[in-house]
Amino acid sequence: MATIVDVEIDPVALIAALGRHARAAAVELARLPTADKQCGLTAMAAAIRTAEADILAANAIDMTNAAAAGLSSAMLDRLQLTPGRIAAMADGVATVATLKDPVGETIDETVPANGIRLSRVRVPIGVIGIIYESRPNVTADAAALCVGSGNAAILRGGSEAVESNRAIHTALVAGLKEAGLPVDAVQLVPTTDRAAVGAMLAGEGIIDMVVPRGGKGLVARVQAEARVPVLAHLDGINHVFVHASADPAMAERIVVNAKMRRTGVCGAMETLLIDRAYPRAADLIAALAAAGCEVRGDEAARSIDPTIASTKDADWDTEYLEAIASVAMIDGLDGALAHIARHGSHHTDAIVAEDTATAERFLGEVDSAIVLWNASTQFADGGEFGLGAEIGIATGRLHARGPVALEGLTTYKWVGRGSGQVRA
């Protein structure tokens, strides 16, 4: 029994109305000192804890509906909330309150010949739209990162999680209210009408940036339709290149971890590139297989280990997100660079090597948001990068790249302080 009623409402008018409220809230938020935003985040976290029973009850309705609709067990797991998950959600919001506030930071300062003292000062972007799928924790995570960076959020969650999202949103608003922050800082789109997503994506001047959080279908739709800027990644076709100079024990450890620690995350390795001059290729392949990975290889890899399956052309461009890896034997660094340039998705690529010059060339020339030397690709994560949280990982080229947290949700303005200068 879904309790949200889709009344007849023009989605364009709806998003415009939410946008006006969001803009007014964003103007207020942009002026707030750090302490007030921290206060708001702390109150939001506390309100989630207080609302635990309401959130669990709402989630139970979503779970019943989802089970009746025949959702997969993986989707049900993503949807399910428990007291532990609610506590983790509240902790996540509270954590954002402890992060360094980028707003107001002076990026640089100069006094050019005209004598005007010029600074670039970080300011919030304004209104951020978040479009996401079944995980209800995104409601709290995204709201916290937006409020923490002085932005207003317009949240559009998945229809399966409608009750859970509403309960979490109610708690967040209670927290905002208690802390004296504008309640429109966090708004939830009150309809599951897909046309509302279209209106958000077309909302130039209403929404300053959209962040899609979810599967490839969602991200692809957002990237294809959006007229507003999008911060996202579509694929994580990540490579580990094991160079001839690699330490074999380290190579094995990194390759198995990069693929198998969690196979469903965007930082997982999909393709293993082995230097033909690396002497222990068979051990690497065997280690992956022993860890439970289905290994597919090109002809050269299969000549080393004939038990593995044969790759098809499509394998090199596939993000498995499963316990499957494709293996190519490669002619040294140049072969690896060429393979990654052709098949990579500009997400995360790693080299295992003891030779510094080779590693530095790899780091310099691989054109990805994250390039790693002697470390697992699974580290591609805002928390691991010391950002404390992340709104997502971006593989576009502009604005922010890789894990994006508070700083990526800001822009800057030029502030000039003069003494009466006029231009000649």
- Indicate whether 334 belongs to the interface with its own copies (CB under 8 A): no
Stretch that binds its own copies, among 177-185, 193-201, 210-218, 409-417 (CB under 8 A): 409-417
Cβ closer to its own copies: 124 or 297?
124
Task: Please report whether residue 216 would count as binding its own copies according to CB under 8 A.
Answer: no
**Separation CA 421–CA 405 (nearest Å):** 39
Length of the chain: 424
- Considering CB under 8 A, how many residues would be counted as binding its own copies? 63
Quick one: CA dihedral 400, 405, 410, 412, positive or negative?
Answer: negative
Cα–Cα distance measured from residue 389 to residue 140, given in angstroms and rounded to the nearest whole number: 12
State which of positions 41-60 bind its own copies (CB under 8 A): none
Hunting for tokens 């003494």 — which residue is that? Answer: 419
Alpha-carbon span 31 to 52, nearest angstrom? 32
Q: Which is nearer to its own copies, 277 or 341 (CB)?
A: 341
**Per-residue interface string for the shown chain with its own copies, residues 170-209, x marking contact by CB under 8 A:** --------------------------------------xx
- Per-position DSSP letters for 178-243, written without gaps between them: HTT--GGGEEE-----HHHHHHHHT-TTT-SEEEEES-HHHHHHHHHH-SS-B---S---EEEEE-
**Minimum CB distance to its own copies, residue 290 (Å):** 16
Judged by beta carbon, residue 294 or residue 365, the one nearer its own copies is 365
Q: Are 200 and 207 in contact (CB under 8 A)?
A: yes
Per CB under 8 A, the list member of 66, 101, 116, 298 interacting with its own copies is 116
Instruction: Name the residue nearer to its own copies (CB basis): 79 or 287.
Output: 287
Does position 291 interact with its own copies (CB under 8 A)? The reply is no
- Is residue 290 close enough to count as binding its own copies by CB under 8 A? no
Dihedral sign from CA coordinates of 87, 89, 90, 92? positive
Among 118, 289, 291, 300, binds its own copies (CB under 8 A): 118
Residue 73 contacts its own copies per CB under 8 A? no
Pairing of strands 106-110, 117-124: antiparallel
Among the residue ranges 74-82, 108-116, 153-161, 314-322, the one whose residues contact its own copies (CB under 8 A): 108-116
| Tokens standing for residue 89 | 């959600």
Among 403, 404, 405, 406, interactor with its own copies by CB under 8 A: 403
Smaller CB distance to its own copies: residue 283 or 412? 412
Buried b (16+ CB within 10 A) or exposed e, 44-64: bbbbbbebbeebbebbebbbe
Residue 306 lies near its own copies (rule: CB under 8 A) = no
Any idea of the CA torsion for 263, 95, 401, 395, to the nearest 10 degrees? 30
Residue 348, C-beta contacts closer than 8 angstroms, at least 6 positions apart:
236, 238, 267, 368, 369, 370, 371, 372, 377, 380
Least Å distance, CB 198 to its own copies, is 16
Q: Is 401 in the site for its own copies (CB under 8 A)?
A: yes
Q: Which of residues 121-160 bind its own copies (CB under 8 A)?
A: 123, 125-126
Name which position in 139, 379, 404, 405 contacts its own copies (CB under 8 A).
Answer: 379
Please state, as a whole number, how many other Cβ atoms lie within 10 Å of the Cβ of residue 216. 14
Helix (H) or strand (E) holding 91: helix 83-96
Select 73 or 110, whichever has its Cβ closest to its own copies: 110
Lay out the site mask for its own copies across 224-253 (x = CB under 8 A, - = otherwise).
Answer: -----x-----------------x--x--x
Binding to its own copies (CB under 8 A) within 13-42 occurs at 27, 30-31
Q: Are 125 and 43 in contact (CB under 8 A)?
A: no
**What residue ranges bind its own copies (CB under 8 A)?**
27, 30-31, 110, 112-114, 116, 118, 123, 125-126, 208-209, 229, 247, 250, 253-254, 256-258, 261, 341, 359, 363-365, 367-376, 378-379, 384-386, 396-399, 401-403, 411-423
